[in-house]
Amino acid sequence: MTIKRLLHPIGPALPILMIIAAGPPAIQAQDAADFFRSNCTSCHTIGGGRLTGPDLKNVTQRKDRAWLIQFMQSPQAMIDRGDAYALQIKQESRDVIMPVISGMSPARAETLLTLIDAESKLEKSQFAGLQISDRPFTEQDVQQGMAIFMGHRKLANGGPPCVECHTVAGAGGFGGGRLGPDLSKAYERLQGRKSMGAWLYSPATPTMNLTFKNTALKANEEILPLLALFESTAQKGVEDDRAGTSAFFATGFLAAVACLGLFAVIWKARFRAVRDPLVETSARKVLGGR
């Protein structure tokens, strides 16, 4: 059966079906905004100044769309090719190269540029960046940050505490988790208050993105104290020394030994063999002390 014959019954309705499948423009715009929020806001703002990456306000006036679409799909390739503007972006971003974003097709890049154009025309874009206080950090902020990090203070939107996957110098006890990196020097790596604040509000890694997608941190109540903690640990310049991990292993090892001892005691009178004890007893009798 040919494709033509297959399509025959719905042929007249095909253009309408295609329009329905494409979805109304409002839904596409919302989709682009969700995509931008999930994938771009940890490094970019629209009209809120540069973070790790440049401010994207009026980006289409700085470079043509074809170049931007190409760059959005494969930033590394453009840099490798020696493109002057791509190299300039890299230098301005302190050598941080934009990662390849999953699902960034040419069509997706086009809708994102349309979104950026529309947002650039607004007096204040919804992507102007995290509104976080500029006041200096206090010792109390650092303590609150540690309480949030360790899970002693619950996150308002129900997100998991940092300690489950990360550690930080001074975590105490058996230390923090190590699925993700040690965050003691993250404040330096993520280039300070503004960039790290944006990152915490909209994390870029798949694991963090999935975890905090519906449980974003509160700007001044949670992100600010965490930033205070990370600034203080970065200033000290030391990472978690893994003493907690060694203590964890030692405790687990002792617990296992205790279990084995318990087995030996509980099943002391267990029936273990028939023939071997008979042979051993007889051998002792026959051989005597020899």
Partner 1 sequence: MNNTYFNALFFIGLPYVSVFTFFLMTIVRYRTHGFTYSSLSSQFLENRQHFWALMPFHYGILTVLGMHILAFLVPRQVAWWSSVPLRLWIMEIGMLAAGLLTLVGLVAAMVRRRANHKIAVVTTASDWVILALLLIQVLTGLGVAMMHPWGSSWFALAVTPYLYSVATLNPNLAVVSVMPWMVKWHVINAFLVIGFFPFTRLVHILVAPNPYLWRRPQVVRWYRRPAAAGR
The contacts found for 52-57 with CB under 8 angstroms, 24 or more apart, are 52/93, 52/94, 52/96, 52/190, 52/191, 52/195, 52/199, 53/89, 53/93, 53/96, 53/98, 54/89, 54/92, 54/93, 56/116, 56/120, 57/116, 57/119, 57/120, 57/125
Amino acid letter, residue 25 = P
* Alpha-carbon gap, residue 133 to 122, rounded angstroms: 23
Q: How many CB atoms lie within 10 A of CB 204?
A: 17
The token pair at 129 is 């960046």
Triad 182, 184, 189: Cα angle to 5°? 90
| Residue 263 lies near partner 1 (rule: CB under 8 A) | yes
> Which one of 156, 157, 220, 253 is in contact with partner 1 (CB under 8 A)?
253
Pattern 211-230, partner 1, x by CB under 8 A: x-------------------
| Residue 22 lies near partner 1 (rule: CB under 8 A) | no
> Which one of 61, 91, 102, 214 is in contact with partner 1 (CB under 8 A)?
102
| Residue 207 lies near partner 1 (rule: CB under 8 A) | yes
| Residue 37 lies near partner 1 (rule: CB under 8 A) | no
Q: Which stretch binds partner 1 (CB under 8 A): 70-78, 85-93, 120-128, 273-281?
A: 273-281
Q: How many residues form the binding site for partner 1 (CB under 8 A)?
A: 41
**What minimum distance in Å lies between the beta carbon of 260 and partner 1?**
6
Closest CA to 214 of 74, 37, 82: 37
> Which one of 114, 160, 189, 219 is in contact with partner 1 (CB under 8 A)?
160
| Residue 277 lies near partner 1 (rule: CB under 8 A) | yes
- Interface residues with partner 1 (CB under 8 A) are 102, 150-152, 154, 160-161, 163-165, 173-175, 177-179, 205-207, 210-211, 245, 248-249, 251-253, 255-256, 259-260, 263, 267-273, 276-277
